[in-house]
Amino acid sequence: MKNLVLHPHCAAGPIESVEGAIEPTADGCSASFRLIGDIARILVPEESEPERMDNLWKTTCFEIFWQPEGGEYYREFNLSPSRRWACYDFDAFRLNSRDAPAKVDITCRHDATELVLEATVHSQLPVPAAVALNAIVEDKSGNIQFWALAFEDGKPEFHSTVCRALHLAGRL
């Protein structure tokens, strides 16, 4: 698991640390995220039927950005503890967003001090690739924290190539 860092403009909150891991698979990737802290103080979307849905990033959610080496194109995945998900393709930085072909299976479990989300992504994901693992955490007071492997200076921007700090060389 890789430790994610809290964006410097975000106030401390109920979550003390966030970890993420990802591995390429024959038909996509498998990923896991772990929040550690006072889980009762964050908004955890209620479990629902798995389905594609937009705007998941407006509350507690996890993200993967996958950019094949040597190009500007990238794919974004939003993964909700509710088991809902989204997948978008971009031609370049925030350019020409459109739904991308994917199927995502999510499991999520939590207790008082830990939330773990595991996702199996079925989608064509070329390697080698630069990858970002991100988390958005909303607490019950409405405060939002942004977590990533790395951030560029300024406001939180998960679409930045700086966030894609993990380099995956090949499939297992």
pLDDT tens, position by position, 22-66: 999 999 999 999 999 999 999 999 999 999 999 999 999 999 999
For 119-150, the pLDDT digits (tens) are 999 999 999 999 999 999 999 999 999 999 99
37: left (phi over 0), alpha (psi -120 to 50) or beta: left
Residue 50, burial from CB neighbour count under 10 angstroms (0-12, 13-18, 19+): middle
pTM: 0.95
| 162: its two tokens | 């700086």
Say what percent of the chain tops pLDDT 70: 98
Burial class (CB in 10 A: 0-12, 13-18, 19+), 80: buried
Residue 172 confidence class, pLDDT cut points 50, 70, 90? low
Enumerate domains of the chain plus CATH numbers: 2-168 (2.60.40.1190)
Residue 69 reports pLDDT greater than 80: yes
The mean pLDDT value of the chain amounts to 95
